[in-house]
Every structure is written in C-alpha cells, then in structure tokens.
Amino acid sequence: MIYADNASTTKMSKTAINAMLPYFDNIYGNPSSLYAFGQEAKEALEDCRQRAAACLNCEPREITFTSGGSEADNQAIVSAAKAGAKKGKKHIITTAFEHHAVLHTLKALEKDGFEVTYLDVHSNGIVTPQQVSDAIREDTCLVTIMFANNEIGTIQPIKEIGAVCREKKVLFHTDAVQAAGHIKVDVKEQNIDMLSISAHKFHGPKGTGLLYARKGIVLSNIIHGGAQERSKRAGTENIAGIAGMTAALEEACASIDENYNKMLPLRERLIDGLSKIEYSELNGDRESRLPGNVNFCFEGIEGESLLLLLDDKGICASSGSACTSGSLDPSHVLLAIGRPHEVAHGSLRLTINEEFTEEDIDYIIEAVTDVVTYLRNMSPFWRDLVNGVRPHVFAK
C-alpha cells in the first residue's frame, strides 16, 4: 500500500509511541492529586509543556493542551471574539479557504451578531498582507488566517500578516495544523498571538493538540469543569497523548530541514509527472507550498471515482469534494481559488512524507495516468469536451 494522505493523518513515529507507553502503565496517576504518585504525572505534564514551548519559541505558560486542532481553533476564536465584544468590537477577518474548524466556528459567531470578512484567495492560493491591512477596521477584534492550507498546501506570508496585525493592534491567530513539524514555526519571529496545532498531523497521536496564546491574552473556556490547564480547559489531562505529541513535535522540528530536502525533489517529480496528463493543472502556488503536498485538477473526471480506482491499485489519496458528507459540493478551497465547479469536482490530493521513494512516486504517476485515461474514456462529459460541444477549461 502507498499511503499518500498524510495531510489527513499520519502514522505515529516509534519515538512518539514509546513516549506514551509509561503513562498507560506505570505512571497512571492523576496530575491533580496531591500524593507523590500523582505528582509524577504532574511533572511529566509540565516537562512536556516546557519542551513543546521550546519547539514553538514561546513560554510554557503560554500553552494550553487541547483535544486537537479543532478544539484549539474553537478556543482561540471564541476567546478573541468574547474579549472583542466586551469592547464593542465584533468584526473578524479570515479567508475563504480556512479549515471547517475555523469557518464553522465563525459561522456560529455570525449568528451571535459578529461580522466576518472572508478575504478572497488569489488563484495561487495565497492571501497578501495588503489584503489584511485593507480589511482591518476600528471594530476588528481578530484576524485568523491559516499557516498552510490543508488541501492545496499553500503557505501564507504569516510573518508579514502578523506584522500588519501588530501594527494595527489586532489579535492574530493562525491555524498552523498543517505547518507545525513540517516547516518552521516560531511564534515570536512570525508575530503570532495565537496558534493551533494537532499531533496527528506530525506523527503524533490523534486527539491531542495545543493552543498557544501569548501572555496577556485571556482565554475563554470551551470546556468547563475542573481547574486543569490554569482553569482554561477542564478535564483530566491526556498525559499519554501530550507525551506522544511532545515527542513527535521535537522529533519533527529537529528534522524539518532534512525532511524538506528529502521530500522536495519527490514532490517536484510527482508534479512534473502528473503535469504530463493533458488538460490537468496543479492547484496552488508551486513555490510557496508544503514539501509534501501535490493537488491537481483533471478535466472530465469525478474525484470519487478516481479515488476508488486508485484504492484498487493500493494508493490512498484524497479528493477535495465532500462526498462523505453526502453532498456533492466541490471543495470550498478549490472554489476559493477560482476553479469552476466542473473542474473542482475532478481534484486529487496526494500528500507524501519523508519515507517516500522515487519508485513510489513513479508508481503513483503511472497509476493516476492510467486511471484518468480510463475514466475519461467512459465519460460522456469528456466526450463533449473532445467533440467541442463544451469548451475546455485548461490548456492541453
């Protein structure tokens, strides 16, 4: 099997698994208890907080452990919104191609009277600091823009956007779930006030993440209850998960350059290979892009059929369209970068990791080329394109 869906989730690293084991077994105490046995777990928790903080270049007390990226996104946004509302500021800026953890949180806030500006994303999948600057108003309480997009892998000019927000004194949150452990993340250097990450996107366990919030920022609870996480996130801490995430984060951050250099030529080989398929195009900028992300649109193809046939050939991949939700809506990300509906339906996301080989890449290129040809030969829609009944969207 070739697992080319690493943006969806990753395999845990051995280091991360081993870091978790003691907390299922010997060190199972509750960190909130007073006896020495619980204190061992408490020490482990604080050790992880300090090490995770070092990876992001922040202070331990600026970190709140969460159940993942979604919870961290929710808490960051709701906290900024509540603080803003107290000062009569109820305007939030984001982009049209955020993850649903951000978009749906904002939709809920809109029902509570917040106004949200969704910045257009350029056709290359990048928003500019100028767009952010132009959109900021007197009543803006938050800018939330993802670090790297989960579908098309484009990397945003986070440091520059952060600088604009600092200058205008508006809080800046970034969903860095796809970035952390893959490209450099440094909250100080990159002018980030709040940031969300999720362990299972960098070879850590599922159900564990963290929220960084610069000191001075008051967080509101999403989960109410006990006094864990400085009373900002109730619930007995997932020590094993936190230990696994911390180990995975340290490991990934220490190998960012090495992994980048391994993956970049493979990504380029994959893009070159798939570009040879006629009437196809890469989605998103080729340069400002995660080293593991390749995302293509093929004219005259249904993404779901493509995925099923690739599965038969042992390739796990993903498509933008939300077939699992029962709707046939194409990806909001591809629509945001201006892909027409009929093309957005025929998308394919392949996300590789540092263990891929040239042989894997060549196998994928061959399989995708065969499957696209096969599906096009059966498609009445494709026949219309060939016969000139419908115009092509892409150049040959």
Ligand X SMILES: *Cc1c(COP(=O)(O)O)cnc(C)c1O
Question: Shortest gap between Cβ of 207 and ligand X (angstroms)?
Answer: 7
Q: Which is nearer to ligand X, 127 or 365 (CB)?
A: 127
Contacting positions for ligand X (CB under 6 A): 68-70, 73, 99, 101, 146, 150, 175, 177-178, 198, 201, 209
Residue, CB closest to ligand X: 69
Q: 3-state SS string over 33-93?
A: CCCHHHHHHHHHHHHHHHHHHHHHCCCHHHEEEECCHHHHHHHHHHHHHHHHHHCCCCEEE
55 is catalytic: no
Q: Which is nearer to ligand X, 29 or 69 (CB)?
A: 69
From 48, 58, 253, 323, the catalytic residue:
323
CB of 377 to ligand X, least distance (A): 35
Which is closer to ligand X, CB of 90 or CB of 203?
A: 203
| Closer to ligand X by Cβ: residue 99 or 173 | 99
Least Cβ distance, residue 386 to ligand X (angstroms): 37
The answer to whether the beta carbons of residues 331 and 307 sit under 8 Å apart is no
Instruction: Write the CA distances from 41 to 53, 206, 226, 306, 391, integer angstroms.
Output: 18, 20, 17, 47, 64
User: Measured on CA atoms in the order 361, 366, 370, 373, is the torsion positive or negative?
Assistant: positive
CB-based contact 49:65 (threshold 8 Å): yes
Cα distance between residue 391 and residue 388, in whole Å: 6
CA 251 to chain centre: 19
149 vs 259 by CB, closer to ligand X: 149
Q: How far is the CB of 149 from ligand X (least distance, A)?
A: 7
Nearest to 148 by CA among 196, 191, 205, 107: 196
Taking the C-alpha atoms of residue 121 and residue 393, their distance in angstroms, rounded to an integer, is 20
End-to-end CA separation in angstroms for the chain: 32
Q: How far is the CB of 337 from ligand X (least distance, A)?
A: 16
Q: How many other CB atoms are there within 10 angstroms of residue 344's CB atom? A: 24
H helix runs in the chain, sequence order: 14-20, 36-56, 69-86, 100-111, 129-135, 158-167, 239-254, 256-275, 303-312, 332-336, 341-344, 358-378, 380-386
Judged by beta carbon, residue 195 or residue 348, the one nearer ligand X is: 195
The residue (of 95 and 259) whose beta carbon lies closer to ligand X is 95
Shortest spacing between CB 349 and ligand X, in angstroms: 11
Dihedral of CA atoms 203, 205, 208, 210 in degrees, nearest 10, equals -20
CA angle 355, 54, 34 (to 5 degrees): 110
Q: Which residues are catalytic?
A: 323
